[in-house]
Amino acid sequence: MRFAFTQDQLDFAEAVSDLLAKECDPAAVRVAWENDTGRVPGLWSRLVEMGVVGLLAPEGVGGLGMGEIDLVRIVYEAGRAALPEPLSTIAGVVVPAVRDHANTADAERFLSDVCAGTSTIALGLAANPLVVGAAGAAMFVLEADDGLHLVDPDVVEITPEQSVDGSRRVSRVNWNPSSATLMCGPSGAAEALDRAATFTAAELCGLADTMLTLTTGYVAERKQFGVPIGSFQAIKHHCANAMLAVEFAKPLVWRAAYSLTQRDPDASLHASMAKAAASDAADVVGRIAMQCHGGIGYTVEYDLHLYLKRAWSLISQDGSAASHRRRVADRVLG
Amino acid sequence: MRFAFTQDQLDFAEAVSDLLAKECDPAAVRVAWENDTGRVPGLWSRLVEMGVVGLLAPEGVGGLGMGEIDLVRIVYEAGRAALPEPLSTIAGVVVPAVRDHANTADAERFLSDVCAGTSTIALGLAANPLVVGAAGAAMFVLEADDGLHLVDPDVVEITPEQSVDGSRRVSRVNWNPSSATLMCGPSGAAEALDRAATFTAAELCGLADTMLTLTTGYVAERKQFGVPIGSFQAIKHHCANAMLAVEFAKPLVWRAAYSLTQRDPDASLHASMAKAAASDAADVVGRIAMQCHGGIGYTVEYDLHLYLKRAWSLISQDGSAASHRRRVADRVLG
Amino acid sequence: MDLTWSADEDAFRAECRAWLAEHAPNPPLPSGDTAEGFALHMEWERKLYADRWAVVSWPTEHGGRGASLWEWLIFEEEYYRAGAPQRVTQNGIFLLAPSIYEFGTQAQQDYYLPRMAAGEDLWCQGWSEPNAGSDLAGLTSKAVRDDEAGGWRLHGQKTWTTRGAFCTHLFGLFRTDPDSTRHHGLTYLLVPLDIDGVTVRGFGRLDGDEGFAEVFFDGAFVPDGDGDPAAGGVLGEVNGGWGVAMATTSSERGLTLRSPGRFTAATARLVQLYRERGGSVDDPGVRDAVAQAWIDAEAYALYTLSDVTGIVEGRSPGARSSLNKIFWSELDVRLHEAALRLLGGESELVEWGPDGQRVENPWLKGYQFSLSGPIYAGTNEIQRNIVAERVLGLPRK
Amino acid sequence: MDLTWSADEDAFRAECRAWLAEHAPNPPLPSGDTAEGFALHMEWERKLYADRWAVVSWPTEHGGRGASLWEWLIFEEEYYRAGAPQRVTQNGIFLLAPSIYEFGTQAQQDYYLPRMAAGEDLWCQGWSEPNAGSDLAGLTSKAVRDDEAGGWRLHGQKTWTTRGAFCTHLFGLFRTDPDSTRHHGLTYLLVPLDIDGVTVRGFGRLDGDEGFAEVFFDGAFVPDGDGDPAAGGVLGEVNGGWGVAMATTSSERGLTLRSPGRFTAATARLVQLYRERGGSVDDPGVRDAVAQAWIDAEAYALYTLSDVTGIVEGRSPGARSSLNKIFWSELDVRLHEAALRLLGGESELVEWGPDGQRVENPWLKGYQFSLSGPIYAGTNEIQRNIVAERVLGLPRK
């Protein structure tokens, strides 16, 4: 029994964190809000070089052949930086879905490209009305009633929409499922949702941590009535409540990733618990962060909103807290 | 438009409040916890004399012929004192049910007795698994699927149970409905539940107010760290939250009583809103009162528990907050 | 207790409703906190004024109808029910005007109030400063005496000035006694924004609008105010600004701005949204949340009726108005949260609605706006302190 | 990361489970916080001791099994799963024993620990006083030096002493330096309750049990403690009691008492209750509340695994253990609230259950007990201060 990351996992995550501290600071995220792609120029290839993107892909196609538990701490770091790249979707969901379910030729071709960073694949799960990064995707993994399909962009009609998070380029997609594109059945789709929920939960924990860090930093500095506002008990308790929410969400998220790695029969239940807790934590922390910042948090010149709006988007992505609690209830309560 | 009690109503309530301050102080309530009846010796006849018990009964049988809006502020005072008498049940529910639905002879006979204080009638609504004051009741008003029945004690099997509130003498009752005892149909029963919910809500507001008063008094006196604990912002905010809950429940309760008086078509909806808000308020205030009192609140030597345990009992009596919000949802949301 | 309206009040409501049905913009105007939106809103404000709906509770000589508080409530209820535009003139009408009525000279009243009602002068508030937010008494912007010119030279900076970039005038507090601290030695000044030495810089708000401004003062001159009001001047007494501001602030915190119609109308729309989407969203608790929001809005409306009854009968709510502010602001957040749950994965969309009827997503926009409620006009932390100390009598220290 | 148990650990679990299945009282014992219940509980404690289950993590020479922290977790999980009785010896075993291990002399360890394990000595804690609750450093009970007798004369009063009326010994803090204030000049004393000058008065608790006591000291004598431990004495250094107590307190606040098995077992019973009653109770939200409680208990269990991993590897949770205390105590309230919602109108019943199987209503009793969780061992308000100040680094003043 050991419930902690290995030193290797922590080192890998720290290396990614160091990269993001340099290449994905708030100024870089602001660039992604304004540019054509919603992404940070050059950053994806750095992540590809580090092996992060192909972490779950077999070594034979240029991946690292590692597991979800190795990736989850890295995705958490991506959340902390509000990384505006489709990391959790591609590395966490698309790669294992193609790896496990595409035919050998497709798998080899698409995974090689993804691991080499030469193309991306967009993901459309039934739980989400919107697809992120549809424009420019080389392929789509799309869910229909009969399972996951691997779909060519030529036959996907894309209608762009605008998200509150300027770096999220979301679209509605329209397409016609056919047996020719079917990659796997509903169980494969359910597994994809479990992975999506788990990695989105990890991102949300990272976002929550950064919002809390911004908040504790601000309230320790900001003075009113002659003292730092962080010395007021109401502010202290807000911050403690924020920490409580996120610190008790994280173990559920790490466990969900572990269960995916282990192909635990309860992996789906664990993913739902993780997403429910992380969505709630990010919501609570975001509310508290806004309140403790006062007016400054309500401006776009201050950085808080970059993390807050990402969190708002991800809170309902891949299933809301309520929907995942319903799944837990169905499983546990019958 | 005028949303306030009349001076007459306030004067009447104040007179009752004065009586209860003398005759129903915590020491008197403690007597009721320990004695055979769960009631304060002699107090019922004082309330009868004041006309409170027969307030809704016609003048012809010794009542005052007044309305629910006249009674509700008095029941609130009963709540403030944790009055261990079946006031809201008899004066608020049984009297109007018998008045409106019993045959003339029964109505005259039973109401005269009740108004004279010579007998009580116990109430068993389908919403409640327990009946208060069954032992010694001269008659029962009991709900079955087909409506309200006026039932003789001889044919009611009574199984006493023990409530957390020592002055509540609750029982399960077993009886067989027959057409001979039927007093009114389901709509009369529904009206009885609306009245019960409204007056219980008023009691809960009174209980909540007393718990808040005890709390603000205690925290202003109790010193820790060299200052009154009421000077700590966390305690201040607890108390403010308690007040918020009860102050925004009260208008709903007063309005529910008004609507009953007016026979407003929305009276049932209003009763549900009142009970939902008052149950939640009493719950919140009780929790806060316990927390702010610390250890002293956890003893039976201190008075808080007298009010707290009554509140716990009434929170689910005549429908929980959740069940009444469900009724509101069914009505408003379709 | 009497929860019925008189025949006159019913007639007044019918008149409001008919006028709004005919004139309220449909589709709704875009946000008034952008330059383009603001211009459209000003058209609407002029239309309101022309038909004497701009300031119903003011005397007729200032452009109003002399409406009672009850009629004002009715007007507000109908206004929100009609989905009519947010009032971009509200800071002047609801925050400044009560202080002008209470503290202004006759000349100030006669000059400012009709122009305000007509939308000729547009007022923003200058309370907050970079280091004086919740701690309003910590402000440092100063007005230095210029005896020769008979007035004051302003220096310093105000911020979080809503719609400051579009307004023509600012009202605010400035330190006139250089030796004073806290709430002493402050003066309430009325300042045209087009005079020399004033610079206004708009900046972006959370919801994407540019509705905030910083206002910099670098020696701008304001006369004493006993001459032509057009040049601005002092409202009330020199060094007596705190009292004037508190009157305004309590007006803001209290009843006036947060008419219950805003929340009953919002929950009515929430109920509609639930009927459209509640059956398809995977959220077993959202039905309860919508019912709760609906109950809360009713509670707030009734609480307000009770407050208005008290005011009409001479009982001021006093510090209890802090309860009011906490309740409406947190209700507003909860009701928008319920709406976002109903929107589910579409809640993040900036534009939303059926094809061909896309509008700025009112629930996302409203949610973002609602988050400012527990902060502005005295944070809810401070309001809870006020309830505890001034209403419940807990010790300050 | 490895969330599997070793073969040895599985075997240990099997041994626990088999023993508990055979011996755990069924029906459950009545509360141990009444005189009759306490006697029954002591029988159970002796049975535990006889088969070496009383103190599994202690060394074998003191009556334990030298179990690892992981094995201790397993034991606790099985203990709660079996619905075995609350440990009336817990204040000694979990609060005092860690301090004796850390600060006691060899003679004290050899004397007290085996007797404690065997239930021969029953310890209650003497922290709180009428005017020193949350503010433990404000205590005034004093121990006056008696050089002649070589010890201390005790004066003052302790209160909220759980099961004080049934215990044989008390451990607590007394002021030994009369000129000291706050946490200076206090000494941690071990006091037999049967000596002259000690009076114990039991008083009633919220839930109807008489489990609290006041303990009055009127010149009772305790020696220095370097002689025969049977007479009581000083634990640790004179005037160094605060450090000893804090070690004990952090042990109470931290992991030891609140084993996750308590909450996972309780939520398992809650799930069972939901299956029995969830379909008939008119409460659309209770299903969600039960699921949430279940998730929270899982989160707490995992959080504890993470803590234990850290402790085993030499990383102490430190002030973060306050997070732990807040979470389990509020989870405990929420899970019992969900249960009371399922009981609906029967939640007020002191006895409850199907005919012929009436027991003390575990959910009502448990709810009342849960309300003490956010209060004792440092109120959750103080725990939140600790999190904010010591973990998040916010300024104290």
Q: Which of C269, C302, C380 to mutate to test the interface with B (most CBs of B within 10 A)?
A: C302
The tokens describing C241, both together, are: 């600004």
For D38-49, write each residue's pLDDT tens digit: 999 999 999 999
Give residue D249's pLDDT. Answer: 63
Q: What's the pLDDT score for residue D316?
A: 83
- pLDDT of A193 reads 98
Residues D328 and D235 in one domain: no
User: In a 10 Å sphere around its CB, with 0-12 CB exposed, 13-18 middle and 19+ buried, how is residue B252 labelled?
Assistant: buried
Give the pLDDT confidence of C308-357 residue by residue, as tens digits. 999 899 888 888 989 999 999 999 999 999 999 999 999 999 998 877 77
**Could you please report the per-residue DSSP string of A50-86?**
HT-TTTTS-GGGT-----HHHHHHHHHHHHHTT--S-
Which of these, B195, B176, B5, lies nearest to B94 by C-alpha position?
Answer: B195
Q: Are residues C289 and C376 in the same domain?
A: yes
- How many Å apart are CA A137 and CA A113, to the nearest integer? 12
Looking at CA atoms only, how far is residue B135 from chain D in angstroms? 17
The per-residue pLDDT for range A235-270, each reduced to its tens digit, is 999 999 999 999 999 999 999 999 999 999 999 999
CA distance readout (Å), C32 to C42, C85, C199, D102: 9, 8, 21, 68
Contact C351 A162 (CB under 8 A): yes
Q: Using DSSP, state whether C151 is helix, strand or coil.
A: strand
Taking only the tens place, the pLDDT of each residue in C373-385 is 999 888 999 999 9
Question: What integer best gives the mean pLDDT of chain A?
Answer: 97
Residue B222 lies in a domain: yes
Whole-Å CA distances, C320 to A226, B236, B249:
27, 15, 15
Query: D266 and D382, same structural domain?
Result: yes
Does pLDDT of C230 surpass 50? yes
Q: Is residue A23 part of a domain?
A: no
Considering only residues D208 and B196, tell me which one the structure prediction assigns the higher pLDDT: B196
CB A58 within 8 A of CB A110: no
Q: Which residues of D touch B224 (CB under 8 A)?
A: 131-135, 138
Q: Scan residues 33-92 of C and list those with Cβ closer than 8 Å to B.
A: 70
Report the residue of C129, C157, C206, C368 to disrupt the A interface, i.e. the one with the largest count of A CBs within 10 Å.
C206
In tens, the pLDDT along A61-107 reads 999 999 999 999 999 999 999 999 999 999 999 999 999 999 999 99
Does the beta-carbon distance from C397 to B216 stay under 8 Å?
Answer: no
Residues 6 or more apart in contact with residue B149 via CB below 8 angstroms: B140, B141, B142, B143, B177, B178, B181, B182, B183
Work out the percent of chain D whose per-residue pLDDT is above 90. Answer: 78
Bridge partners (DSSP) of residue B121 are B139
Cβ of residue B232 closer than 8 Å to a chain A Cβ: yes
To the nearest whole Å, the CA of C327 is away from the closest chain B CA by 7
Say if strands D186-192 and D233-235 run parallel, antiparallel, or are unpaired: antiparallel
Whether B90 is in a domain gets the answer no
- Can you give the residue range of the structural domain that contains A311? 187-333
**H/E element holding D13?**
helix D7-23
**Catalytic residue positions of C?**
252
State the nearest Cα–Cα gap between D320 and chain B, in angstroms: 20
Asked whether residue A132 carries a pLDDT value surpassing 70, the answer given is yes
Does residue B32 register a pLDDT over 70?
Answer: yes
Q: Does C160 touch chain A (CB under 8 A)?
A: yes
Q: Among D354, D357, D276, which residue's Cα sits nearest to residue D26?
A: D357
Contact predicate C250/C321, CB 8 Å: yes
How many CB pairs below 8 Å do chains A and D form together? 137
User: D283 lies in a domain?
Assistant: yes
Of B1, B231, B325, which is closest to C5 when you measure between CB atoms? B1
pLDDT at A7 over 90: yes
In Å, how far are A154, C138, C150, C238, D147 from C145, measured between CA atoms? 73, 20, 8, 11, 75
Q: Within 13 Å and on the Cβ side, how many CA atoms surround A104?
A: 1
Closest CB from A1, A4, A240 relative to D387: A240
What CATH number did the domain enclosing B257 receive?
1.20.140.10
Q: Is D256 a residue whose pLDDT tops 60?
A: no
Residue of D nearest to A209 (CA): D392
User: For the domain that residue C219 is a member of, what is the CATH number?
Assistant: 2.40.110.10
Q: How far is D184 from chain C (nearest CA, A)?
A: 25
- Tell me the per-residue pLDDT of C61-99, one tens digit each, with 9 for 90 and over: 999 999 999 999 999 999 999 999 999 998 899 889 989
- Is there a domain that residue A68 lies in? no
Q: Sorting pLDDT into bands at 50, 70 and 90, what band is C255?
A: very low
Q: What whole-number distance in Å separates Cα of residue C109 and Cα of residue D249?
A: 67
Mean pLDDT value across residues A25-46: 97
Residue of D nearest to A330 (CA): D291
- pLDDT (average), residues D307-312: 91
Which pLDDT tens digit goes with each residue over B178-220? 999 999 999 999 999 999 999 999 999 999 999 999 999 999 9
Report the candidate in D247, D298, D228, D258 with the shortest Cα–Cα distance to residue D97: D247
Search chain B and give the residue with CA nearest A232.
B233
Percent of chain D with pLDDT over 70: 97
- Do the beta carbons of residue A135 and residue A175 sit within 8 Å? no
D234 and D203 belong to one structural domain: yes
Q: Is position D100 within any domain?
A: no
Number of domains in chain C: 3
D219 part of a folded domain: yes
Read off the pLDDT band of C249 (50, 70, 90): low
**Residues of chain B positioned with their CB less than 8 A from the CB of C271:** 332-333
* Chain A contact set for B238 (CB, 8 A): none
Say which of B235, B291, B320 has its CB closest to residue D375: B291
Give D9's contacts in chain A (Cβ within 8 Å): 1
Asked whether the predicted pLDDT for residue D247 surpasses 80, the reply is: no
B231 to chain A: closest CA residue:
A233
Q: How many domains does chain A have?
A: 1
Q: Which one of A162, A165, A298 has the shortest CB-CB distance to C206?
A: A298
- Domain assignment present for residue B267? The answer is yes
| Mean pLDDT, residues B252-274 | 98
> Mean pLDDT over all residues of chain D?
93
pTM for the whole structure? 0.97
The full length of chain C comes to: 397
Let me know whether C386 and C259 are in one domain: yes
Strands C186-192 and C233-235 come out as antiparallel
Let me know whether D379 and D293 are in one domain.
yes
C2 domain residue, yes or no: no
Query: A253 in a domain, yes or no?
Result: yes
Residue D133 to residue B295, Cβ atoms within 8 A: yes
**Is the same domain home to C236 and C263?**
no
Flag if A234 and B232 touch (Cβ within 8 Å): no
What CATH number corresponds to the domain at position D265?
1.20.140.10
C227 and C171 within one domain: yes
Q: Residue C1 and residue B334: Cβ atoms within 8 Å?
A: no
Residues D306, A3: C-beta atoms closer than 8 Å: yes
pLDDT given for residue D21 in this prediction: 97
| Residues of chain A neighbouring B232 (CB-CB closer than 8 A) | 233
Average pLDDT, chain C: 93
pLDDT digits over A151-198, tens only?
999 999 999 999 999 999 999 999 999 999 999 999 999 999 999 999
* Closest residue of chain B to D205, computed from CA coordinates: B299
Contact between residue D162 and residue D88 where contact means Cβ atoms under 8 Å apart: no
Question: Are residue C214 and residue C272 in the same domain, yes or no?
Answer: no
Residue C113 lies in a domain: no
D56/chain A closest Cα distance in angstroms: 19
Residue D254: what pLDDT? 43
- Choosing from D241, D266, D299, the residue where a domain stops is D241
pLDDT at residue C248, as a whole number: 67
Question: Is residue D250's pLDDT more than 80?
Answer: no
Q: What is residue D253's predicted lDDT score, i.e. its pLDDT?
A: 40
Put simply, whether A331 touches B (Cβ < 8 Å) is no
Question: In D, which residues are within 8 Å of C287 by CB distance?
Answer: 284
| Interchain CB contact of C133 with A (< 8 Å) | yes
Which residues of chain D from 359 to 388 reach within 8 Å of chain A, CB to CB?
Answer: 381, 383-385, 387-388
Within an 8 Å CB–CB cutoff, is residue D216 touching chain B? Answer: no
Query: Nearest-CA neighbor of D163 among D34, D330, D260, D287?
Result: D34
Find the residue in A nearest to D278 (Cα).
A333
Q: Pick from D206, D241, D276: which residue ends a domain?
A: D241
CB contact under 8 A, A170 and C348: yes
Chains that touch D (3 or more CB pairs under 8 A): A, B, C
C interface mutation test: which of A123, A320, A325, A327 has the most C CBs within 10 A? A320
Interatomic CA distance for residues C175 and C154, integer angstroms: 9
Q: Are residues D210 and D263 in the same domain?
A: no
Residue B326: HSE in the Cβ half-sphere, 13 Å Cα cutoff: 12
- Whether D47 is in a domain gets the answer yes
- How does residue C253 score in pLDDT terms, banded at 50, 70 and 90? very low
| Chains in contact with B, where contact requires at least 3 CB pairs less than 8 Å apart | A, C, D
User: Which of A102, A132, A104, A139 minimizes the C-alpha distance to A118?
Assistant: A139
* Per-residue pLDDT, C254: 43
Could you tell me which residues come within 8 angstroms of residue A323 by beta carbon, excluding any fewer than 6 positions away?
A127, C282, C283
Measured between CB atoms, does A232 come within 8 Å of chain B?
yes
Of B276-280, D275-279, D319-323, the range with the lowest mean pLDDT is D319-323
How distant is the Cα of D77 from the closest Cα of chain C, in angstroms?
A: 32
Task: State whether D272 and D367 are in the same domain.
Answer: yes
Asked if C179 and C140 sit in the same domain, the reply is: yes
Helix ranges restricted to H, chain A:
7-23, 26-34, 43-50, 68-80, 87-89, 95-101, 104-116, 186-221, 233-247, 250-262, 267-293, 304-316, 321-332
* Closest partner CB to D379 (pick from B128, B294, B313): B294
Look at A204-213, B49-58, C293-302, D250-259 and tell me which has the smallest mean pLDDT: D250-259
Average pLDDT over every residue of C159-174: 93
Q: What is the pLDDT of residues B286-332, one digit of tens each?
A: 999 999 999 999 999 999 999 999 999 999 999 999 999 999 999 99
Q: Among the three residues D71, D88, D105, which one is the final residue of a domain in this structure?
A: D88
* Percent of chain B residues topping a pLDDT of 90: 99
Contact D351 B168 (CB under 8 A): no
pLDDT digits (tens, 9 = 90+) for B79-126: 999 999 999 999 999 999 999 999 999 999 999 999 999 999 999 999
Residue D361 reports pLDDT greater than 60: yes
Domain residue limits at D293: 254-391
Query: What is the distance in angstroms between the Cα of B73 and the nearest Cα belonging to chain D?
Result: 25
Residue C116 domain-assigned?
no
The DSSP annotation for B78-140 comes to: HHHTT--S-HHHIIIIIHHHHHHHS-HHHHHHHHHHHHHTS--EEEE-TT-S-EES-TT-SEE
The CATH code of the domain that includes C79 is 1.10.540.10
**Cβ-based contacts under 8 A for chains B and D:** 109
Distance from CA of A237 to the nearest CA of B (A): 8
In a domain, B166, yes or no: no
Task: Decide if A302 is inside a domain.
Answer: yes
